[in-house]
Chain A
């Protein structure tokens, strides 16, 4: 039986509580001076990896990974403060990476670092694509279990309950595999101050795109980004009768 060598990719995104604004040129969402955090689904991934170790699963090590601007190192430190052993940062300032490119980098990281379990968030809350984990599984030819709400490891067998339309389904697969996390999987811990201090001493390796030799030509071109049409509230009514008559007036009843 082999130990778990876990890779947890994390992404720095605009904080979920911030209402994003589209820039004047309509080319992107305004990101300068806006609070950023770790993608919420990625917090669940780190938490799950750490809990595996706490549940006495044979975790050899947990490697946190991020690709993006230098500032992404903040969230890698957070990941290490939550329990990841070390971090790898692929620095990329210029382009925003597409899921396929990220999946290609991750494939190399998996091979270089001899990983046998990758836990990703099911989607990032900025591009809402929900693709990277599945793409990585496809590139590696590994089993995948997406939108996981429960994960059980027994030796090299992994049983995953996943959220599907209308309920849940349970799958079983042998390692190596890819898991993506759904909200119900766990409740991520807060990094304690002593752990934040300790995380500063954990190793963080920096690499560049050139180290991986991946073609980063973008497949998609942003034509424009716009604000959704604003929705105007129709005002309030005084009582239930008022509500019923207004709904009838609007043709909803």
Chain B
């Protein structure tokens, strides 16, 4: 009884000082914080650290306790050394083996499980990216843990906040599992700084499990625009653009005028106007930029799920009753084929 009461009191004390979005440990109880140890699973592509995966580090710093980074792949030492400079990391565990380059869960999951067990971590954090979504539930099942997906806030070491029903409800959930396996919504935590840190670098264990799947090829949309998930500004087009030709004629100049990434609604993607990887919404990407400017998007709940945390939302739509206007900070009723080019010209001027 006593310990349960103390736990609750502790949790309240901790959550009361958790509110501000800072990366410093939020626990004032240093003794407890010291017992927490988080493994942050970092991503790398072709020998480069994926900066958006550092949100897992920021989330771990918010939790408090020690934070260890984990990377695996071929010639990984350079990535490990780069990750060692990430602020907040105490240690980097790396496993140098080309078998892990593609992040295939069939061999990456046993690799993580071995390293989690060896390090005796209380928490394992990874980004809720394609990589994290694919890998972490497999890891969780192997450890007999019920994972918590796509969290947007941390209340205490066992209590997390996550959106459900396409963001129409916010669930606060407490877990009794150990270790706690959690994936992090990147836009809900600061992206982390790749400097100022000086972590030690250490080799991890490699169980060398063969992957059951063979990686054949990839086809990534190349773009010199900012990455959609992390861009400061996003311009997004919907079905109102009518065709791929019009999408390609109207949206890129506006994006360039603003230095923005391009997104699209599911309707635009399904109609073939834009690539799948540009889809914003419940089943696409979640974005939370400073400015989300959309044209020809009505504002279905599945779309709003992916962008309603944007700081400022601006909308151009010819239907004055479109639901998007209920949440837009700035709405302009008009034909996007006139208004968007005019806006592009005036922004350039």
Q: Which residues of A contact B (CB under 8 A)?
A: 14, 16, 19-20, 22, 29, 98-100, 103, 122-123, 125-139, 142-147, 149, 159, 163-174, 177, 182-184, 219-228, 231-244, 246-247, 250-253
Q: Determine the residue in chain A with the shortest Cβ distance to B152.
A: A228
Q: Which residue of B270, B311, B331 contacts A236 across the interface (Cβ within 8 Å)? A: B331
Could you tell me the distance between the alpha carbons of A253 and B308 in the complex, rounded to whole angstroms?
Answer: 19
> A247 with B134: in contact, given A138-B109, A233-B326 (CB under 8 Å)?
no
Structural contact, A221 and B174, CB atoms closer than 8 A: yes
A-side contacts of B214, CB under 8 Å:
171-173
A-side contacts of B328, CB under 8 Å:
233-234
Interface SS majority for chain B: mixed
Structural contact, B333 and A222, CB atoms closer than 8 A: no
Instruction: Write the nearest CB–CB distance from A12 to chain B, whole angstroms.
Output: 14
Quick check: is B138 within 8 A (CB to CB) of the other chain? yes
Q: Which residue of B170, B313, B314 contacts A228 across the interface (Cβ within 8 Å)? A: B170
Structural contact, B134 and A240, CB atoms closer than 8 A: no
CB-defined interface of B254-275 with A at 8 Å, one 1/0 digit per residue? 0000100000001000100001
Stretch at the interface among B19-27, B68-76, B143-151, B236-244: B143-151
Stretch at the interface among B59-67, B81-89, B157-165, B199-207: B157-165
Structural contact, A99 and B331, CB atoms closer than 8 A: no
In B94-143, which residues have CB < 8 Å from any A CB? 102, 104-106, 109, 129-131, 133-142
Q: Which residues of B contact A (CB under 8 A)?
A: 102, 104-106, 109, 129-131, 133-142, 144-150, 155, 159, 162-177, 212-221, 227, 229, 233, 258, 266, 270, 275-277, 282-283, 285, 290-291, 301-302, 308, 311-314, 316, 320, 325-334, 339, 342-343, 346-347
The 4 A-B pairs at the shortest CB distance, nearest first, are namely A134-B137, A167-B220, A138-B141, A135-B141
Structural contact, A128 and B164, CB atoms closer than 8 A: yes
Q: Determine the residue in chain A with the shortest Cβ distance to B167.
A: A228
> A139 with B141: in contact, given A128-B150, A146-B133, A250-B330 (CB under 8 Å)?
yes
Could you tell me the distance between the alpha carbons of A103 and B141 in the complex, rounded to whole angstroms?
Answer: 8
A-side contacts of B266, CB under 8 Å:
183
Structural contact, B282 and A222, CB atoms closer than 8 A: no
A-side contacts of B135, CB under 8 Å:
134
16 A-B pairs besides A183-B270, A222-B171 with CB distance below 8 A are A16-B302, A19-B301, A99-B137, A122-B283, A128-B163, A134-B141, A137-B106, A139-B142, A143-B106, A163-B130, A172-B216, A220-B148, A236-B320, A244-B343, A244-B346, A251-B312
> A22 with B169: in contact, given A165-B129, A167-B219 (CB under 8 Å)?
yes
Structural contact, A221 and B176, CB atoms closer than 8 A: yes
Q: Determine the residue in chain A with the shortest Cβ distance to B292.
A: A252
Structural contact, B173 and A222, CB atoms closer than 8 A: yes
Q: Which residue of B139, B282, B330 contacts A243 across the interface (Cβ within 8 Å)? A: B330
Could you tell me the distance between the alpha carbons of A227 and B313 in the complex, rounded to whole angstroms?
Answer: 20
Q: Which residue of B131, B159, B212, B220 contacts A223 across the interface (Cβ within 8 Å)? A: B159
Structural contact, A135 and B140, CB atoms closer than 8 A: yes
Instruction: Write the nearest CB–CB distance from B105 to chain A, whole angstroms.
Output: 6
Q: Which residue of A22, A103, A233, A250 contacts B325 across the interface (Cβ within 8 Å)? A: A233
